[in-house]
Structure 1
Amino acid sequence: MELMEILGYLGALVVGLVLGLIGGGGSILTVPILVYLIGFNPLVATAYSLFVVGVTSSIGAFQNFKKGLVDLKTAALFAIPAFIAVYLTRRYLIILIPEVVFTVNDFKVTNSIFIMMLFAIIMLLASFSMIRTKKDKGLEGETQAIQYNYPLIALEGIVVGVLTGLVGAGGGFLIIPALVLLAKLPMKQAVGTSLLIIAVKSLIGFLGDLPNMDVDWPFLLLFTAISIVGIILGVYLSKYISSKKLKKGFGYFTLIMAFYIIYKELF
């Protein structure tokens, strides 16, 4: 086993750890690990990421469900349009992206570069979301009655579904604020509900890929198993470590990773 492959499997452990410690964010690492450490094509990496994120998040969702921290009605309202959007994106839209998307001054932006650059933009947005410390009364929402802005929740579900389909990330940093602000869920319940949405949405997206590719199941199952070990360990360690500090630190790490991807793809 080569050094980069070993680092890739260690990365799988980190993905699970981060998901377990801060309830999201770990999935943003999966695609860079699969592309730069393991050596997969970005199109394959986004598909594999959906499976890893889906299975790992389902473990976290189950743990939160047992604690009563999953709102099934809100999950359904958000998830149904997201499920449809992510499946259609992986089944039909992703294969329509041409080999060369466009050319700028003789520089060809291939589909691989396009996907990784889009992923870097998502990472930048995620990092700002994690780093920001400004308190928003709407995000506290612990005592507000649950209410539903149906059109906005559905629209957000579609947007997150398409983005998930394109870049293979769970989109927790988009889902959690939407659940808190649009459905008035308490933060802890929003995290648990988000994990359920991410899990099912990602796995449905992966199903859309199955007709389009041959899956390396031994690798994918081993990578996912290591990630599951990570999330179980992360949930245990979260009792002793400040999630706020971890989230901010991981935000800065994500920011650096985003700039690294931009540099690597363009220069």
Structure 2
Amino acid sequence: MELITAYAGACAIGLVLGLMGGGGSILTVPLLVYVMGINPVLATGYSLFIVGFTAAFGGVQNFLKGNVAIKQGLLIAVPSFITVYCTRRYIVPSLPQIILDTKNVTLHKDTFIMALFAIIMLLAALSMLTKKETVQQPDTNKEKTSYVRILPYIILTGITMGLVGAGGGFLIIPMLVFFGGLSMKKAVGTSLLIIAVNSLTGFLGDLHNTTINWQFLLSFTAISIFGIFVGSYLHRYVNEKQLKKGFGVFILIMACFILSKEVFGY
């Protein structure tokens, strides 16, 4: 039963990536941890692989349709994938098993990672639920913000992605829209390729530190890839505004569940 639930979730991960250009890891990590019982550190590494390969297929689809901006994508992808790799290769393994130990509070590594992941989910949910819809302008390929000013944000995004195993689509898309001057359609397509590069590079950092169950990981990823093709097909038929609101409510509930379980023990 757990395996059936996990594979159904794998398909849902692909659907979300195909429909929205991000959000796959928001489903992946809780599914691996709470349904499959996988250690959070290993789950975040698996998430990078699953989301990375799934996003790659979606990114290629968008590239063939002309919905990928190579220049803007590389400006964000290069510094972020270096940061993600370094985070997975050096920072995550060096984190102590007990992050904080006081008379009143003991914070374990696994709890820290899942709590941080829940906070990222809360931010993503609030972004989806509160962001006002605007009329999209045509592509201008004009920088909206100085690259030097946005570089620290890119690096911080990479560190966050590395720590929690997230693809970071909800962080990357605003950068492409406001820094790169892209339309939402091109921002979504470009974000998929950036997510793929970042996630798979981050996973390479894990190969030095963990033992991988390749049979499970590859079968899970294959189902997720199938889901992204279905999601890309359905994208033209769904109401994007309602989809974002509904998904925002869902991940808000998931974030509260993770925080209550990890922090308060409920």
Same fold (TM over 0.5): yes
**Structure 2 partner of 1:147:** 143
> Among 173, 176, 183, which residue is 1:186 paired with?
183
Q: Deviations over 1:42-91 (max 9, x none)?
A: 00000000000100000110011011111111111111110110000000
Question: Structure 1: which amino acid aligns with 2:138?
Answer: E
**Structure 1 partner of 2:46:** 48
Instruction: Describe the shift of the 1:183–1:152 C-alpha distance in structure 2 as closer, same or farther (beyond 3 A).
Output: farther
Does the residue aligned with 1:211 lie in a helix, a strand or coil? coil
**Structure 2 partner of 1:70:** 68
- The alpha carbon displacement at 1:220 in A equals 0.2
Q: Deviations over 1:126-164 (max 9, x none)?
A: 111111242357xx3435443263213432221111111
**Structure 1 partner of 2:198:** 201
- The alpha carbon displacement at 1:221 in A equals 0.2
- Which structure 1 residue ranges, 4+ long, deviate > 6 Å from structure 2? none
**1:37-116 counterparts in 2 under 5 A?**
37-116=35-114
Does the residue aligned with 1:238 lie in a helix, a strand or coil? helix
Distance 1:56 1:244 in 2: 23
Q: Is the 8 A contact 2:29 2:44 kept in 1?
A: yes
Distance 2:90 2:199 in 1: 16
Distance 1:198 1:152 in 2: 21
Q: Is the 8 A contact 2:15 2:227 kept in 1?
A: yes
Does the residue aligned with 1:220 lie in a helix, a strand or coil? helix
Distance 2:127 2:140 in 1: 23
Distance 2:105 2:3 in 1: 31
- The alpha carbon displacement at 1:186 in A equals 1.2
Distance 2:102 2:258 in 1: 19
Tell whether 2:203 aligns with 1:230. no
Does the residue aligned with 2:106 lie in a helix, a strand or coil? strand
Instruction: Describe the shift of the 1:75–1:247 C-alpha distance in structure 2 as closer, same or farther (beyond 3 A).
Output: same
Distance 1:245 1:104 in 2: 45
Distance 2:149 2:169 in 1: 17
Distance 1:27 1:114 in 2: 17
Question: Structure 2: which amino acid aligns with 1:10?
Answer: A
Distance 1:88 1:23 in 2: 25
**Structure 1 partner of 2:256:** 259
Question: Structure 2: which amino acid aligns with 1:147?
Answer: E
Does the residue aligned with 1:239 lie in a helix, a strand or coil? helix
Count of residues paired in the alignment = 263
Structure 2, gaps ≥5 residues long: none
TM-score, normalised to structure 2's length? 0.95
Question: Structure 1: which amino acid aligns with 2:241?
Answer: K
> Among 236, 239, 242, which residue is 1:239 paired with?
236
Tell whether 2:253 aligns with 1:249. no
> Among 160, 165, 171, which residue is 2:157 paired with?
160
Distance 1:74 1:101 in 2: 37
Distance 2:58 2:139 in 1: 24
Instruction: Describe the shift of the 1:102–1:82 C-alpha distance in structure 2 as closer, same or farther (beyond 3 A).
Output: same
Question: Structure 2: which amino acid aligns with 1:214?
Answer: T
